[in-house]
Homo-oligomer: A and B are copies of this chain.
Amino acid sequence: MKIYLALLGCVSLFFTAILKAEIVSSEKTSGVELSADWRTPKAESVLLMQLDSGRVVIELAPKFAPNHVANIKQLVSDGYFDGSKILRSQDNYVVQWGDPDEGTEQARSIGKANSKLKVEFFADHSELNFAAIESRDAYAAEVGFVDGFPAASDGKRAWLAHCYGMVGVSRGMGDDSGNGSGLYVVSGHAPRHLDRNVTLVGRVIKGMPLLSSLPRGTGDLGFFESAEETIPIKSIKLATSLGDKSVSLQIMDTNGAAFKEHVAKRTTRSEEWFLEPTGKIELCNVGVPTR
């Protein structure tokens, strides 16, 4: 619902009530919200990050980064992130978290997890149910969605795209310098130049504002400069460890009819408010509705 309301944007406060009523009514008559159009994320692929301010829900993408996802789940099972910190908040870019002592003698143990993993970018296009959208993309020949995740492709290989809310694995130099003990989420305009350069492992499906509205770090790259500045993470748990009811939200099936209609609406912008509807759409402007 929030996604639909966002279509309206930029109306003056004075007109909000009128426009809102209009959109809600057009949504009701569309009649596309069949239960078959929605899916509940599998609990085994869902992480719950608990902050003092609330809960952030992350859906993992094992099809694209199986080794990283397995490693992150191992770390999470071992409580690696419980009591860890948000370390960085860079305006219009990313929010990053992990162990503030990583690389020092005080570093947390990563237990049975792998300390190095080779980057994982690609899945075989022919093995995916790639829901392509019509869009002239700056970075890739084809773009669309795979299982709710924004993705790009050259026709043979497919890879996840750095849209707002996508979660990736921090790394240093080299293609095996990350392991999932440090993670980040895109909190600004999509930095698509990072596609195929950093391993993406999932997407925040609820609670993004808790991360995106954090104060920006005062250090270079938005790193928090002092222990006081960092934000505590109470815990990151697997949804499976908290019972089935821990994932109560649903995500629109990006291979369903309702999503096709959603993309069409976001492309045509036929609402009366628009003076010159664009008729175009860009991958990271599509958004995947949740309820």
> Which A positions have Cβ atoms within 8 angstroms of B?
5-6, 8-16, 18-20, 87-94, 96, 98, 100, 102-103, 119, 135-139, 163-165, 168, 170-173, 175, 177-178, 182, 184, 188-198, 208-209, 212-216, 220-221, 223, 266, 269, 272-278, 280-285
Residues B87 and A193 in contact, CB atoms below 8 Å apart? no
A266 to chain B, nearest CB (A): 8
Residues B19 and A285 in contact, CB atoms below 8 Å apart? no
Residues A189 and B190 in contact, CB atoms below 8 Å apart? yes
Q: Collect the chain B residues with CB atoms within 8 Å of residue A100's CB.
A: 13
Separation of A178 and B164 alpha carbons in the complex (Å): 30
Some 13 contacts from A to B, beta carbons below 8 A apart, are A5-B220, A9-B90, A9-B93, A9-B194, A10-B96, A10-B171, A11-B171, A13-B88, A92-B164, A119-B275, A192-B285, A193-B285, A213-B216
Give the residue of B10, B93, B177, B208 whose beta carbon is less than 8 angstroms from that of A92.
B208
Residues A10 and B213 in contact, CB atoms below 8 Å apart? no
